Amino acid sequence: MDHELADYQKLQIRQYAPRSIRETAEGKYWRHFKAPIVSKQFGAVSHIDFCQQYPFDLAVTASTRVILYSGRAPNVVSRTITRFKDVAYSGCFRLDGRLVVAGGQDGIVQVFDANSRSVLRQFKAHKRSTRVARFGADRLHVLSGSDDVTARWWDVSSGTQVLRLDGHRDYVRAAAGSPNSPDVWATGSYDHCVKLWDLRAGNSAILRLDHGAPVEDVAFFPTGALAVTAGGNYLCVWDVLGGCRLLKRLDNFQKTVTCIRLSQLAGPESAAAPRMLAGSLDGHVKIFELDSFRVTHASKYPAPVLSLGLSPDCRLLAVGLADGTLSVRKHARPKVVPGAPGLPQPKPKYQRQLTAGTYRYFIRGQSSRAAATDFRVFKQRQARLQPYDKLLRKFRYGAALDASLSTRQPEVVASLLEELAARGGLAAALAGRDAEGLRPLLRHLVKYIGEPRYTKLLSNVGHRLLDTYAEVVGASPAVDQLWRALHDRVAEELGVMGQLAQLAGALEPLLAASLAGGPGI
């Protein structure tokens, strides 16, 4: 008996392609941001900025105020800055988190103390509303952009204007500093252009990028070699060091892209790398990986997205909507930010000494994995056969088919039917059945004959059953009902196939015309 068991090969269950695309590690990472903490603001959330120092507080600009939220508890308002005569714009932290700068509808750029909320400086040279304000990397200067088509460089210490940057022909709505040099800045305007400035060279732009649509946002990649611009329903990636050559245009949105953020540590642990996040008026926030610039994840929000931010440790994802909703989602496993100022260092774990006086000393090595060069001795284990395998080994084909049907696993039934056909025992397995023996088989045909992976096999089985039991049709009402159900299911599938064939015929000339460069759809 053992010799026969050793010679018998178990039935190999056929592996089919998955029915749907399995979720990737990237998708799981972004889905692990918990249910959002939602707070309603007094107006549209126009800008979001995270402090770069632990605990990574959050500055939210909405209506006539800049609200500061605690990074430890994002549902807690730590301070509210309300020193604005009209709508506030672009509230941003300084790198050390001590100061906040913001523009306003009245054109005044103000610098606040983040703790006391007192006004430290006011810059009043702009003639129209100031939509963008950023601190320089040296912490001593501020760059502002206004609807008066100018950008200005301010000295915070003296409160004076150092440089006026002229060259745009429409509203200046975006600005970003290069991570490679504190003197290199990019400004984006509604004149469809992004200009690069070297502040050491005066008020003449050194490079000009034509985005092709009003520019809503601009950002540098972490290396500083590339830049990305947002405007219209697309993003453009530029090679800054290579003469501002256009590398990629990303048409992944249906409406205007309003905001961009780049994170150096986002993504799962197995593939942590820089990621780009972009929000749009179509309500989507999409995440791009920066090798091939493909979308790795997308989230849908109930209103147009105006602003977004991701904390440096990737713990908090904040999204601001046009209806005044602020959505903050928290990840359970924040990343470790190397060299982040103020970040508490983890305590060293206690390492227990392994000595002969402990029990673990005598069981050491039992859970270790063998190295690739180790010689392995495998223990011979007796094969455990399923009921259909035992019957198949005894050439009881009909009983083996009944046993496979009892598992209610279509891939097992399909594998057994293919094995019986290969052995020439399919006819014997189907013949000689009474009403009780036919009902499970017919129920299986009715349920799975419409699935493409089983259609061909089960259609052949159905033809064999009709040939075998045609003379006794009508003898059992229960069996006849199953025959009618099988007929209806096949007729339904044929009708669907006919409709799909008509649809394919209608689409074929349209697709051919679009590929040939003819009139668009």
| 318's tokens | 């904040």
340 pLDDT band, cuts 50/70/90, is low
User: Per residue in 279-334, pLDDT tens?
Assistant: 999 999 999 988 888 888 889 999 999 999 999 888 999 999 999 999 999 988 88
Predicted local distance difference test score (pLDDT) of residue 30 = 85
The band of 348, judged by pLDDT with boundaries at 50, 70 and 90, is: low
Q: List C-alpha distances in Å: 448 to 413, 453, 454, 462.
A: 11, 9, 7, 12
Residue 364's identity, in one-letter code, is R
Pick from 187, 218, 182: nearest CA to 199: 182
Write the pLDDT tens digit of every residue in 396-450: 999 999 999 999 899 999 999 999 999 889 989 988 888 898 899 999 999 999 8
pLDDT band per the 50, 70, 90 thresholds, residue 270: low
Phi and psi for 130 in degrees, rounded to 5?
-105, 110
**Contact (CB, 8 A) for 66 and 91:** yes
Which whole number is the average pLDDT over 334-359?
Answer: 67
pLDDT for position 343: 55
The sheet with strand 37-40 has its strands ordered as: 37-40, 325-330, 316-321, 305-310
The pLDDT assigned to 361 comes to 77
pLDDT per residue over 71-113, tens digit each? 888 888 899 999 898 999 999 999 988 999 999 999 999 999 9
- Kindly tell me if the per-residue pLDDT of 6 is higher than 60: no
pLDDT of res. 521 = 41
Q: Tell the burial category of 139 from Cβ atoms under 10 Å away from its Cβ (0-12, 13-18, 19+).
A: middle
Neighbours of 135 (CB within 10 A): 21
Give the count of beta carbons closer than 10 Å to the beta carbon of residue 311: 26
Positions of E strands within 109-156:
109-113, 119-123, 130-135, 141-146, 151-155
Report angle CA 342, 274, 139 to the nearest 5 degrees: 40
Nearest one of 321, 310, 334, 340 to 283, comparing CA atoms: 321
The dihedral through the CA atoms of 265, 266, 267, 269 has a sign that is positive
Structure tokens at 164: 């006026």
Q: How confident is the model at residue 338 (pLDDT cuts 50, 70, 90)?
A: low
pLDDT of residue 227: 93
Q: How many CA atoms lie within 13 A of 409 on its CB side?
A: 12
pLDDT of residue 303: 93
Give residue 33's pLDDT band: very low, low, confident or very high (50, 70, 90). Answer: confident
DSSP assignments along 92-113, one per residue: EE-TTSSEEEEEETTS-EEEEE
Confidence of residue 205 (pLDDT cuts 50, 70, 90): confident
Per residue, what are the HEC states of 262-282?
EECCCCCHHHCCCEEEEEECC
pLDDT of residue 260: 94
Side by side, the strands of the sheet bearing 119-123 are: 88-93, 99-104, 109-113, 119-123
Interior CA angle at 461 toward 458 and 466, to 5°? Answer: 125
Assess whether pLDDT exceeds 80 at residue 357. Answer: no
Listing DSSP states for 367-424 in one string gives: TPPPPTTS---PPP-PPPPPHHHHHHHTT-HHHHHHHHHHTT-HHHHHHHHHHHHHHT
**Closest by alpha carbon to 150, among 96, 195, 116?**
195
Element (H, E) at 207: strand 205-210
DSSP 415: H
pTM above threshold 0.75: no
Reported as a single tens digit per residue, the pLDDT across 156-193 is 988 899 999 998 999 999 999 999 888 999 999 999 99
Helix (H) or strand (E) holding 485: helix 477-515
Strand, helix or coil for residue 171 = coil
